[in-house]
């Protein structure tokens, strides 16, 4: 009997404030969509770092014949200079940081260049002699690049030292800023959702003040009086969370899996499985927000 009464009160409340309830669902849907997008963006950054940072190398470009860099004043890097650099990189002092050292010859650099740009007309005019030797250093921890760079930079025969992370960092910066933007918009929309849920519950409580007074007279507990109002807000927030999860799933499925992942195969994108991981978090956030908003709102209008 009590359950039937609570359900009837919830139905009456939703019918009386249908427009406000729909507004709560929509605002919760939008705010939690931004929350989910921010989480998925950060997961994407994590995926790319985990995959690419392990492949990051330090490229030590050796002096070509015509370089104007002071360390290349003696001309093209000699075999002795190359051997000295390899000795430094494989020394005991750098062994905790260096995993592997590979010498890329002019011929190997030319083959790699032709494999990448060989179909371009201008690339046909490049010769082996125009290529540049380099030492490719795989690191145990890519974050400690500077330790290796400091040891070899400025030595004779070294024209330039490049950390491949510098190529990736701008991309990660853009993604991190997009995450911050999505999180900021989500925070604003969550505040709007909380205010709207609070207003909706207050209007519902005020419209049923006579029923709550009668319930107090017959000895109903404060929790039993507040429960229908709390469930109204929770149901609306739950619907918004379900819509947000569904929208994110459809977006990832159609835009990322069916289009972007097919076009850019070398990136490990987030997928619908990641959305399913995020969905329970969105549902929990929606319900918690509704519960807190309801308690704050009902403390005044249904207090014993």
The three-state DSSP-derived secondary structure of 29-50 is: HHHHHHHHHHHHHHHHHHHHHH
Confidence of residue 6 (pLDDT cuts 50, 70, 90): very low
CATH of domain 57-163: 3.30.70.3040
pTM of the full structure: 0.65
Rounded-to-integer distance, Cα 150 and Cα 254, Å: 46
pLDDT tens digits for 211-228?
A: 555 555 555 555 555 666
User: Where is 249: in which H helix or E strand?
Assistant: helix 222-251
Domain ranges of the chain: 2-52+169-301, 57-163
Residues 6+ apart with CB under 8 A from 75: 63, 65
Q: Which two tokens stand for residue 153?
A: 């930079």
Say how many C-beta atoms besides its own lie within 10 A of residue 159's C-beta. Answer: 19
Mean pLDDT of 266-293: 87
Mean pLDDT of 50-56: 68
C-beta of residue 197 within 8 angstroms of C-beta of residue 233: yes
Long-range contacts for 12-18 (Cβ within 8 Å, ≥24 apart)?
12/208, 13/204, 13/208, 13/228, 13/229, 13/232, 14/232, 14/235, 14/236, 16/204, 16/207, 17/200, 17/203, 17/204, 17/207
Rounded-to-integer distance, Cα 145 and Cα 138, Å: 10
Mean pLDDT of 181-187: 84
Mean pLDDT of 272-293: 88
């Amino acid at each position: 009997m009590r359950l039937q009464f609570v359900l009837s009160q919830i139905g009456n409340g939703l019918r009386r404030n249908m427009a406000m309830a729909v507004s709560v669902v929509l605002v919760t849907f939008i705010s939690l969509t931004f929350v989910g997008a921010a989480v998925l963006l950060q997961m994407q950054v994590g995926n790319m770092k985990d995959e690419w940072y392990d492949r990051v190398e330090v490229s030590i470009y050796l002096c070509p014949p015509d370089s104007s860099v002071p360390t290349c004043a003696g001309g093209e890097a000699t075999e002795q200079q190359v051997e000295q650099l390899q000795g430094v990189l494989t020394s005991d002092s750098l062994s905790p940081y260096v995993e592997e050292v590979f010498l890329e010859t002019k011929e190997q650099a030319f083959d790699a260049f032709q494999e990448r740009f060989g179909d371009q007309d201008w690339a046909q005019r490049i010769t082996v002699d125009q290529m540049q030797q380099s030492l490719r250093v795989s690191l145990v921890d890519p974050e400690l690049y500077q330790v290796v760079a400091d040891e070899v930079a400025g030595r004779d025969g070294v024209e330039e030292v490049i950390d491949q992370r510098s190529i990736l960092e701008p991309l990660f910066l853009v993604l991190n800023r997009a995450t911050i933007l999505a999180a900021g918009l989500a925070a604003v929309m969550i505040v709007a959702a909380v205010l709207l849920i609070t207003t909706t519950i207050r209007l519902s409580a005020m419209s049923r003040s006579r029923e709550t007074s009668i319930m107090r007279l017959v000895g109903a507990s404060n929790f039993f009086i507040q429960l229908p109002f709390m469930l109204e807000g929770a149901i609306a927030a739950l619907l918004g969370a379900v819509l947000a999860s569904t929208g994110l799933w459809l977006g990832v499925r159609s835009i990322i899996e069916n289009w972007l992942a097919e076009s850019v195969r070398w990136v490990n994108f987030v997928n619908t499985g990641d959305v399913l991981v995020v969905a329970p978090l969105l549902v929990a956030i929606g319900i918690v927000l509704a519960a807190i908003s309801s308690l704050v709102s009902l403390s005044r209008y249904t207090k014993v």
